Chains A and B, each alone.
Chain A
Amino acid sequence: MIESIAMSDVTIRIPTPLRAFTGGADEVHVQAGTVKEALDKLGESHDGILQQVTDGDGNLRRFVNVFVHDRNITALDGLNTPVPEGAIISIIPAVAGGASFKQQRLAALRREVPEVTPQEAYELQQQGAVLVDVREPDEVALGRARGAEPIVRGYLELRIEERVLDPSTPVLVMCAGGSRSLFAAEDLRQLGYRDVRSVAGGFDLWKQEGLPVEVPRVLNGEERERYGRHLTIPEVGEKGQVRLLESKVLLVGAGGLGSPAALYLAAAGIGTIGIVDDDVVDRSNLQRQILHADDRVGELKVESAQRTLAALNPAVEVEAFRERLDSGNVERIFAGYDVVVDGTDNFPARYLVNDACVKLGIPNVHGSVFRFEGQVSVFWPGRAENPGPCYRCLYPEPPPAELAPSCADAGVLGVLPGVIGLLQSVETIKVLLEIGDPLVGRLLTYDALPARFTELKLERDPACAYCGEGADFPGYVDYERFCNVAA
C-alpha cells in the first residue's frame, strides 16, 4: 500500500546501557521512513546494537520499549510506525525486578514461626521434642541429625500423625538450610500442632556445629519396589524395612517349620538368615518341607535352602550351618542373631535352644506340631519390659518319650507346620520391629480339626533354674541323656 515514504532526518536517543555500542554517544542521527528503517540504519553503523533491541525475527525485544516522541510504538504501528522529519526516537530499557516472592514469604514466615538454633533443637530433642527432617530421601541418605524422623516434605501432612499423635508435642522441623522447614512448620501449625519450631540453618549448621549425626541406611530403588507393600504400612514403613534388612534371624532346622518361616522371612527382607541343619533332603520331607524339591533328594538341606531363598530374594544373605547343634557349638552359631526360630523336632535340641537363648538373651520363637495340632509362643525372659517365661518354666523336664513322639513316629498333616511356621514368622517380624503384642507369656495353640485357636497364659517360674530370679546360668547339660533319663 505504501510505495515509498520520504526519508526523514531523525534522532535516536541511546540509553546508557547501549552506549557501549555507540562509542558513548547519547544520540545517533539517521535518515529513515519508519522506526524499523531507523533501527536498521542504527544497526548498520553500530555493530551489535540491533541485537539488543530486536530479536532474531526482527521483533522488538521484551526488555525494550521504543517511543516516537511521546508515543510508545506498540500503541502506534509498531516497528512500521512512520517517522516524520525531526522525529525523536527513544529507546527505553525496560526496568523491572523485585524481591522474589519466595523471599517475601520466608520473611513473613519468620515473623510467625519460632526458630531455634541447632543447639537449642538438640537440647529440646533430649527433652522429648520430635525432630522431623523434611529433606528429600537422597539428602537424608548422606546423613541426618541423630534421632531425627525423616518425613519427606511432600508427605508431611499425610504422615506426621504416624509419628506425632499428640498435637501439643513440641515438633522441631529441619531441612538443609532452614527455608523449607519454615514452610513445613507453617503447614504443621495449620494442621493443628501447637508447638512447631523451625531449625534455623538446618542440617548444614547442625553438622557444622558438631552435633550428633548418623548416616542411615536407606532403601534403594529396587528395594523400594520389592518392599513397596511394606512401605505403605505405617508400622513398617521405610524405617521398619531398613530394620528388617539389618536383622539377623537364625532358623534351627530347615524342616517343616523352618521351610515356611525361611521363605516368608526371606521374602520380607530379613537381611541375614542363618539355617542350622545337618540333614539331607528325604522324599518323605517333601510332603511339608517346601524349601526343598524332588530333584534335590539326597542333597544337604542347608544347600537346598540356600538355593531356594536365593531364587526368591537374592539380596538375603543365607548363612548355612551344616552341623548338628550341640552344647559345644551353640553359642558360636547363635552369636549375633537377633531372633532364633525354633523349628526343632526333638526335645534335646529344644532344651538346648532354650538354654542358649536364655543365656544369650535372645528371643526364642517357639513352634511345635503334632498331627493336627500345633503351638506357638515367644520365650523371652531377657525382654527389657514385660519379660516372659522360658521353655523350662513350662516344662522343667521333657515328657516321657511315649507322650512326645516325633513326626516320623506320629505323623503330621503336611499343611500344619506351614500354619505354625508362618505364625512363627509373624512373631519374629513383630519382635524385630517392636510392634504389636508378641506371644510373650502366651501360648497359642491351633487345633486344625475343629479349626480352633486357643490362647493359654504362661507364667514365669520365679524358681526356674535357668531364667528364675537371681538364677545363675547352670550350664549346658547332656541333652540326649537328660531327655532319655527324664523319659
Chain B
Amino acid sequence: MPESPDPRPVPRLLLCPAIGEWLADAARSGYPREVCGLLVGSRSGAATRVERAEAATNLEEERAADRYRLDPRAFLAIDRAARRDGLDVVGVWHTHPDHPAEPSSTDLQAAWPDYTYLIISVAGDETVHLRAWELVDGRFVERPIVSQHAADRAAAGRNESANTHP
C-alpha cells in the first residue's frame, strides 16, 4: 500500500519536554480512565516533530478504564486547526492505566499507518512512562523519543472546542 520503499527506517519522534509533562499530567488526572487525544506537528522522512498535543473526548463510556474511541468531531476540529497552521495530525496519544506503555492487540486492530502512537502508562499518580510506536508492515515498531525544545509557539495543551480533558 505505501509507496515509500521498504524497509524504511523508523523515524524519531521529536517531543518538547513541556508537551511530555503536559501528557503525563493528563494521564495522571485522567486515571483510572483512559484518556486520549491527537498529536499535531509535521513529518519529514527522518523525524516527526510534535508541535502540540490536543485532548479529545473518549467516546467509550462503559469501558473507559481500558478502551478509547476518539470523538471524530474532535478529530475534525483539531485537523482543521492544524491545517490552518500549516501542520498535520501526525499521531495519536492515549493512556494505559495500570498497563505498560506497549500497544495492545486492541491498539493494533485499530491502528493506521503513518501515525505515531504515543502511549502513556500510568499507575495512580505514581509512575508515568511514555513510549512511541508506529505501524510498520502490520506490526508496531517502537520509535525513539527525542526530547527537544520546540519553538515558543508549541502550545502544549492548547485546547480546541472538543477538549473535555478533566
Q: List 14 A-B contacts (CB under 8 A).
A: A15-B89, A17-B113, A48-B1, A90-B76, A90-B79, A90-B80, A94-B69, A95-B92, A96-B106, A99-B97, A99-B106, A103-B104, A104-B98, A104-B99
Contact B110–A63 (Cβ < 8 Å) = yes
Contact A97–B76 (Cβ < 8 Å) = no
What 8 new A-B contacts, CB under 8 Å, besides A15-B89, A16-B89?
A: A16-B88, A94-B69, A95-B68, A96-B110, A97-B103, A101-B63, A101-B66, A104-B97
> Which residue of chain B lies nearest to A95 when distances are taken between CB atoms in the complex?
B70
Contact B115–A16 (Cβ < 8 Å) = yes
> Which residue of chain A lies nearest to B105 when distances are taken between CB atoms in the complex?
A100
The complex places the Cα of A249 from the Cα of B1 at a distance, in Å, of 70
Q: Is B137 an interface residue (CB 8 A)?
A: no
Q: Is B114 an interface residue (CB 8 A)?
A: yes
Q: Is A26 an interface residue (CB 8 A)?
A: yes
> Which residue of chain A lies nearest to B91 when distances are taken between CB atoms in the complex?
A16
Of B2, B90, B106, the residue contacting A97 (CB under 8 A) is: B106
Of A19, A94, A95, the residue contacting B114 (CB under 8 A) is: A19
Considering only residues 72-93 of chain B, those with a C-beta below 8 Å from chain A are: 72-73, 75-76, 79-80, 83, 88-90, 92
Of A23, A72, A92, A94, the residue contacting B79 (CB under 8 A) is: A92
* Chain A interface helix/strand/loop/mixed: mixed
> Which residue of chain B lies nearest to A67 when distances are taken between CB atoms in the complex?
B76
In the complex, what residues of A have CB within 8 A of residue B104's CB? Answer: 97-100, 103
> Which residue of chain B lies nearest to A93 when distances are taken between CB atoms in the complex?
B112
Cβ of A92 to closest chain B Cβ, rounded Å: 5
In the complex, what residues of B have CB within 8 A of residue A17's CB? Answer: 112-115
Contact B68–A98 (Cβ < 8 Å) = yes
Contact A95–B110 (Cβ < 8 Å) = yes
Considering only residues 18-65 of chain A, those with a C-beta below 8 Å from chain B are: 19-21, 23, 26, 48, 63, 65
Contact B79–A15 (Cβ < 8 Å) = yes
Of B70, B73, B79, B113, the residue contacting A96 (CB under 8 A) is: B70
In the complex, what residues of B have CB within 8 A of residue A16's CB? Answer: 43, 88-90, 112, 114-115
Contact A72–B72 (Cβ < 8 Å) = yes
The complex places the Cα of A15 from the Cα of B113 at a distance, in Å, of 11
Q: Is B19 an interface residue (CB 8 A)?
A: no
Contact B1–A99 (Cβ < 8 Å) = no
Considering only residues 50-80 of chain B, those with a C-beta below 8 Å from chain A are: 60, 63, 65-70, 72-73, 75-76, 79-80
Cβ of B30 to closest chain A Cβ, rounded Å: 12
Report A77-120 CB contacts with B as 1/0, cut-off 8 Å: 00000000000001011111111110110011000000000000
In the complex, what residues of B have CB within 8 A of residue A72's CB? Answer: 72-73
Q: Is A294 an interface residue (CB 8 A)?
A: no
Contact B65–A104 (Cβ < 8 Å) = yes
Cβ of A115 to closest chain B Cβ, rounded Å: 16
In the complex, what residues of B have CB within 8 A of residue A98's CB? Answer: 34, 60, 63, 66-68, 94, 96, 104, 106-107
Among all A-B residue pairs, the 3 with the closest Cβ atoms: A97-B107, A17-B112, A99-B99
Contact B76–A20 (Cβ < 8 Å) = no
- The interface of chain A, by Cβ under 8 A from chain B, is 13, 15-17, 19-21, 23, 26, 48, 63, 65, 67, 70, 72, 90, 92-101, 103-104, 107-108
Contact A100–B98 (Cβ < 8 Å) = no
The complex places the Cα of A465 from the Cα of B7 at a distance, in Å, of 88
In the complex, what residues of A have CB within 8 A of residue B76's CB? Answer: 67, 70, 90, 92
Q: Is B27 an interface residue (CB 8 A)?
A: no
Cβ of A481 to closest chain B Cβ, rounded Å: 83
Contact A26–B69 (Cβ < 8 Å) = no
Q: Is B38 an interface residue (CB 8 A)?
A: yes
The complex places the Cα of A19 from the Cα of B112 at a distance, in Å, of 12
In the complex, what residues of B have CB within 8 A of residue A63's CB? Answer: 110, 112
Cβ of B8 to closest chain A Cβ, rounded Å: 12
The complex places the Cα of A98 from the Cα of B89 at a distance, in Å, of 19
In the complex, what residues of B have CB within 8 A of residue A70's CB? Answer: 73, 76
> Which residue of chain A lies nearest to B107 when distances are taken between CB atoms in the complex?
A97
In the complex, what residues of B have CB within 8 A of residue A97's CB? Answer: 67-68, 92, 94, 103-104, 106-107, 109-111, 117
Q: Is B126 an interface residue (CB 8 A)?
A: no
> Which residue of chain B lies nearest to A100 when distances are taken between CB atoms in the complex?
B104
Most-contacted residue by chain B among A16, A23, A99 (CB, 10 A): A99
Contact A107–B98 (Cβ < 8 Å) = yes
Of B36, B88, B96, B97, the residue contacting A95 (CB under 8 A) is: B36
Cβ of B81 to closest chain A Cβ, rounded Å: 13
> Which residue of chain A lies nearest to B70 when distances are taken between CB atoms in the complex?
A95
> Which residue of chain B lies nearest to A24 when distances are taken between CB atoms in the complex?
B3
Of A20, A94, A101, the residue contacting B4 (CB under 8 A) is: A20
Cβ of B27 to closest chain A Cβ, rounded Å: 12
Report B15-37 CB contacts with A as 1/0, cut-off 8 Å: 00000000000000000001010
Considering only residues 107-158 of chain B, those with a C-beta below 8 Å from chain A are: 107, 109-115, 117
The complex places the Cα of A65 from the Cα of B112 at a distance, in Å, of 14
In the complex, what residues of A have CB within 8 A of residue B103's CB? Answer: 97
In the complex, what residues of B have CB within 8 A of residue A95's CB? Answer: 36, 38, 68-70, 75, 92, 110, 112
In the complex, what residues of A have CB within 8 A of residue B70's CB? Answer: 94-96
